[in-house]
Amino acid sequence: MTLDTLIMLAGSFVLILPFLGFPSNWDTVFLVVVGVLIVGLGIAARRTMHKHHPDTHNHSDGPTVQ
């Protein structure tokens, strides 16, 4: 399973969580755990992207000072 797929599944879980009928305390715990998971997967995906494409840089579209 790819990182993209895991991020989408975790996001889908967050989307349907309020409708699953868990107690409020459980919802809070699940949201925190899945939120940390999404952040970790996002960092891993970003590192993987930069490992495969080292020439890409994150430039802003705003003005630059030279």
Of 44 and 63, the one with more pLDDT: 44
Q: Tell me: the pLDDT tens digits for 22-61?
A: 999 999 999 999 999 999 999 998 888 877 776 656 555 6
Pick the closest to residue 57 from 65, 41, 49 (CA basis).
49
What pLDDT, on a 0 to 100 scale, did the predictor assign at position 17? Answer: 94
Task: Give the residue extent of every domain in the chain.
Answer: 3-51
pLDDT of residue 52: 75
Tens digit of pLDDT for each residue in 9-18?
999 999 999 9
Phi-psi bin for 21: left (phi > 0), alpha (psi -120 to 50), beta?
left
Query: Whole-structure pTM over 0.75, yes or no?
Result: no
